[in-house]
Amino acid sequence: MDTKRSGGREAALAALPALLLPWYDKNKRDLPWRQDTDPYRVWVSEIMLQQTRVEAAKEHYVRFLRALPTVEDLAACPEDKLLKLWEGLGYYSRARNLQKAAKIVAAEGFPSTAEGWRKLSGIGDYTAGAIASIAFGQPTPAVDGNVIRVLSRLLGDDRPPEALKSSLFAELAPAYPQARCGDFTQSLMELGATVCTPASPLCLTCPLFELCRTRSDALPLPRRKQERKRSELTVLLFVRGGEAALCRRQSGVLRGMYGFFCIEQAMDAAGVQAFLRGAGMRSFALGERRAHRHVFTHLEWEMTAYVVLSEEDAAALQNSSAAADDAAAANQTAAAASAAGEAAAAKQSAPAHTDFAALQYFPVERIEREISLPSAFRWCLPLLRRAAGAARN
């Protein structure tokens, strides 16, 4: 296929506004972020939509703006509240970058150019172009996966998406109309989302059908998917009365987020019991067990959760283990010596796990209402509710 820039290529791009804008007026979806072009609202929607489907983002967008209607509100929002509002959208670094940039905007004002937006945290070429065109009417392309797919097929360009992105950005800019730049940006996105879909595109309904050189889903060429890394995790849900233990994760894909105690290997009930005894917990019972698979973009967790019912403080288990060893060493009975040996062996062979000292107990109702849990752990909440309810009865 011809991948070189030519007069026919330029003519096809130049024809886009006249074909797409009337189609967009008749067929655009009624989405909450299209009610106005306020830069704050456009910005929030574009950040939410970076890694989230439109249907999943709609309710979150409305709730977010109800709680934080201005950039000043976002800049001043406590992080825990911000992450709770973001809960369910994933990729929480987006929310942190959004707030970091909001603090600058609240102090200095909104940038009016794509170049100015690119200087803010979490904003790349696509998002900067989208905001500048939609909120400020500038002819700045926003080239995302939808736009790459539409134009790759339209032009019959079989280059990889990575190579197409910068080329299409430069080629598309001269095609922008003098007016309705934001609508033109959104019309390209809309066509890719609703008609020129990744598989089984609705070619016969496409306003670009006569111009399109592909008229199928043959392009862009599929990329080789990176194989996901698979890990096995055992999750311990420590429940004490109506409270459960959480900790902030210190590393990895969910760094800085609340989660439950994790052991980085699969364990059966007997293994969990031996692990807890080795850590110093003396009085406990295992409750409900549940298995779950959680898939990230490049990572897959096979998770097994166990409810651990105990009045002991799990956050003190490291200290309790050392104290138990000291007591066992001081005791001269054979049974005590054996127990000390078992405890030492358990500590030496213990798998990597969450730091006990990082655990904090919160009422289960507060966890559900106020604390943001990533979806990798939210599936555990029904187990907590049942365990806490049984403990209170």
The string of pLDDT tens digits covering residues 256-278 is: 999 999 999 999 999 999 999 99
Residue 194: inside a domain = yes
Q: Could you tell me if 218 and 52 are in contact, meaning their C-beta atoms sit under 8 angstroms apart?
A: no
Q: What is the pLDDT of residue 216?
A: 96
**Domain boundary at 172, 205, 238, which?**
205
Answer yes or no: do 164 and 197 share one domain.
yes
How far apart (Å, rounded) are the C-alpha atoms in residues 176 and 294?
Answer: 42
Residue 222: inside a domain = no
Answer yes or no: do 50 and 169 share one domain.
yes
Residue 122 sits in a domain whose CATH number is: 1.10.340.30
Q: What is the pLDDT of residue 331?
A: 37
CB atoms within 10 A of CB 373: 22
Residue 220: inside a domain = no
Residue 178: inside a domain = yes
Answer yes or no: do 246 and 165 share one domain.
no
Answer yes or no: do 31 and 162 share one domain.
yes
Q: Is 46 a catalytic residue?
A: yes
How far apart (Å, rounded) are the C-alpha atoms in residues 190 and 178?
Answer: 20
Answer yes or no: do 281 and 135 share one domain.
no
Q: Which domain holds residue 292?
A: 229-392
Residue 375 sits in a domain whose CATH number is: 3.90.79.10
Answer yes or no: do 55 and 141 share one domain.
yes
Per-residue pLDDT tens over the stretch 111-126: 999 999 999 999 999 9
Answer yes or no: do 197 and 268 share one domain.
no
Answer yes or no: do 46 and 154 share one domain.
yes
Among residues 46, 171, 190, 243, which one is catalytic?
46
Residue 388: inside a domain = yes
Residues 6+ apart with CB under 8 A from 126: 142, 143, 144
**Domain boundary at 173, 205, 237, which?**
205
Answer yes or no: do 240 and 190 share one domain.
no
Helices and strands in the chain: count of H runs, count of E runs? 18, 7
Answer yes or no: do 23 and 118 share one domain.
yes
What's the number of domains the chain is made of? 2
Answer yes or no: do 119 and 234 share one domain.
no
Q: Which residues of the chain have pLDDT under 50?
A: 1-5, 319-349
How far apart (Å, rounded) are the C-alpha atoms in residues 32 and 58?
Answer: 7
Counting every residue written for the chain, the total comes to 393
Handedness of CA 147, 91, 299, 368 (dihedral sign): negative
Residues 6+ apart with CB under 8 A from 213: 1, 153, 154, 155, 156
